[in-house]
Structure 1
């Protein structure tokens, strides 16, 4: 299978509330709008908020969102009235993470990749000299 693109699709219980959260509160840039839905940029991915769901997403699903400065991001979101479920901390795997949630309770894991972490390391062999 050859993949050309991908996106996560959310079916919120209250579409207007979720649209306002992702667009206005988080400030995500709009990739595309269509009748009944909006697609947002998520760094190298896309998030579609469309339709209407009947239930909360549950705790088996989370969105992993990498940010440049976790402390600043958390303080900015707190200032916008977003409750912080878990304060920023360094995880055993070396990433700095904090948790918030969207209006339906979907957990958003905010991640800062610190200097020296393997995710920032180019593991390819250096070019021959």
Structure 2
């Protein structure tokens, strides 16, 4: 069996705030939008958001309300200059979770959070 990652969907509470974060602050282009479901163009794998309410009502998945900020995964974006990107995000009020650091394998990595507290890794390409 061969699996190919097509998209990741983040379930969010505040649709407008989260949409603005990914579109206006991170600068992602919208590929498609249907009500509260949005797909952003991020290359091979699409990043999508949808409200928890919509997922419950339209799809029937039992998605719990966000009662605490608990992360069990992260998404990552590759950039050329992690420090410059982090500074730009800091100026826009984005919470910086971890400052840029160079890992033993040579990759520079930093972490920020989106409006729902999802971890976002900002990193250089590992070759």
Query: Can you list the C-alpha shifts for 1:7-41, whole angstroms capped at 9, x where unaligned?
Result: 00011011121111111111111111112211002
Equivalent residue for 1:41?
Answer: 41
Unaligned 5+ residue runs, structure 2?
53-62
In 2, the alpha carbon distance for the partners of 1:107 and 1:23 equals 17
Cα root mean square deviation, aligned? 1.9
Pair member with larger Rg:
1
1:16 is matched with 16
Matched, 1:87 2:99: yes
Q: Report what 1:70 is aligned to.
A: 82
Pairwise CA distance, 1:5: 5.7
Given the alignment of the two structures, is residue 58 of structure 1 paired with residue 70 of structure 2, yes or no? yes
Runs of 4+ in 1 over 3 A off after TM superposition: 1-5
TM norm structure 2: 0.80
Q: Distance in 1 between matches of 2:122 and 2:76?
A: 6
Consecutive unaligned residues in structure 1, runs of 5 or more: 114-118, 121-129
- Inter-partner Cα distance in structure 2 for 1:75 and 1:46: 25
- TM-score, normalisation: structure 1: 0.78
Match of 1:107 in 2: 119
In 2, the alpha carbon distance for the partners of 1:80 and 1:43 equals: 24
Count of residue pairs brought into register by the alignment? 115
Name which of structure 1's ranges 49-58 and 70-79 shifts more when overlaid on structure 2: 49-58
